[in-house]
Amino acid sequence: MKKSSGKIEEIDTHIEFSRPCCGTLISKSDKYCRKCGVNLAESSTPPSEELPQELYERKLSLINRFYKLLTAPSEAMRDIALAPDYGGVIVVIVLQIVLTSVAVVIVMQKIRFSGPYAAEIGGLVSGVLAFAMFVAVIPLLIKWLVKSLIVKYACDSESGWDFKTAASITGYAYVVTLVISIPGIFIAWFLLPTFHLNTTGLDSTAMTQAFNDYEAQLSWLKFGYTLPFSLLGLIWKSYLGGLGARFGTKEKCSLSRGLVVFFVLGLIGLLFSFVIT
């Protein structure tokens, strides 16, 4: 209260303002928030101001990100989710293409042709595989982008995270594919049986039968190595993806939810690859 021109004026001590805790309008005389019950006396945040969000600065280099994905996945995926980039993903995709090319070269060395048309058929098979490797880059990129888009919306939970974050998380998770491909190359080099095809008097029926017999020889490799390691890689990639989705959405998407989303998408791709091979 104060005197002015012989009259007593009251000073309003109940001026309302907003708290950043929940946005409820409270007065200066309130000791507790009427909505969420926070102790206003202990709150260090100014009544009418919100603290600015601290910008995250990338802490791990590309090499360290790859290393931490294997040794400290939570730390690596947090850095990737909070400082996403496309450069690292492109490196992962390029390395994946290189390892696949090495595997194809090893397979080609295991295929032997003899007879009058050996050179022609060998050149044709090599050309088809080279062309398939070149064309396969496009589906690989499309698969990454489509999967990233699905992950963005399936793990959103009203977090408002952007596509770049989802794409970065999805792409870096493919590091698992690189790791699993390395022992696969050695297995192909030492254990893959040689395929021999005599082109003398060869017809389509004989060629089909020869390929069927060779495929039967590879069944043990398909179910003894490829399937178990593919399932292991699927679980591993799903865990990395779940971590990334959790950090990318500021924990509005749980680890379990993110893991399930990545696992289901990966399982669909795994089943599709086994059907067509």
pLDDT band at 269 (very low <50, low <70, confident <90, very high): confident
pLDDT at 115: 78
List of residues 6+ apart from 236 with CB closer than 8 A: 176
Q: Which residue has the higher pLDDT, 200 or 174?
A: 174
Q: Has residue 53 got a pLDDT over 60?
A: no
pLDDT at 29: 64
Q: What's the whole-number mean pLDDT along residues 222-251?
A: 90
Q: What's the whole-number mean pLDDT along residues 194-203?
A: 75
Sequential DSSP letters for 194-259 = PEEEE-TT--HHHHHHHHHHHHHHTHHHIIIIIHHHHHHHHHHHHHHHHHHHHHHTTTSS-HHHHH
pLDDT at 22: 62
Q: Which SS3 state, helix, strand or coil, does residue 157 take?
A: coil
pLDDT at 104: 82
Max CA pair span of the chain: 123
Least confident of 30-34, 134-138, 249-253: 30-34
pLDDT at 194: 83
Domain residue ranges in the chain = 1-52, 62-276
pLDDT at 35: 63
CA nearest 157: which of 250, 23, 70?
Answer: 250
Q: Has residue 166 got a pLDDT over 60?
A: yes
What does residue 100 show for φ and ψ, rounded to 5 degrees?
A: -65, -40
Q: What's the whole-number mean pLDDT along residues 72-96?
A: 94
Q: Which two tokens stand for residue 201?
A: 């008097």
Highest-confidence segment of 5-19, 145-159, 198-212, 250-264: 250-264
6: left (phi over 0), alpha (psi -120 to 50) or beta: left
| Spatial distance between the Cα atoms of 243 and 253, rounded to a whole number of angstroms | 9
Q: Which residue has the higher pLDDT, 7 or 103?
A: 103
Highest-confidence segment of 20-24, 60-64, 152-156, 223-227: 60-64
| Spatial distance between the Cα atoms of 213 and 207, rounded to a whole number of angstroms | 10
pLDDT band at 67 (very low <50, low <70, confident <90, very high): very high
Least confident of 82-91, 122-131, 155-164: 122-131
| Spatial distance between the Cα atoms of 273 and 38, rounded to a whole number of angstroms | 55
List of residues 6+ apart from 167 with CB closer than 8 A: 84, 86, 89, 144, 145, 148
Q: What's the whole-number mean pLDDT along residues 92-99?
A: 91
Q: Which SS3 state, helix, strand or coil, does residue 158 take?
A: coil
| Spatial distance between the Cα atoms of 239 and 246, rounded to a whole number of angstroms | 11
Q: Has residue 10 got a pLDDT over 50?
A: no
pLDDT in tens, 125-137: 778 877 777 777 8
Q: What's the whole-number average pLDDT of the chain?
A: 80
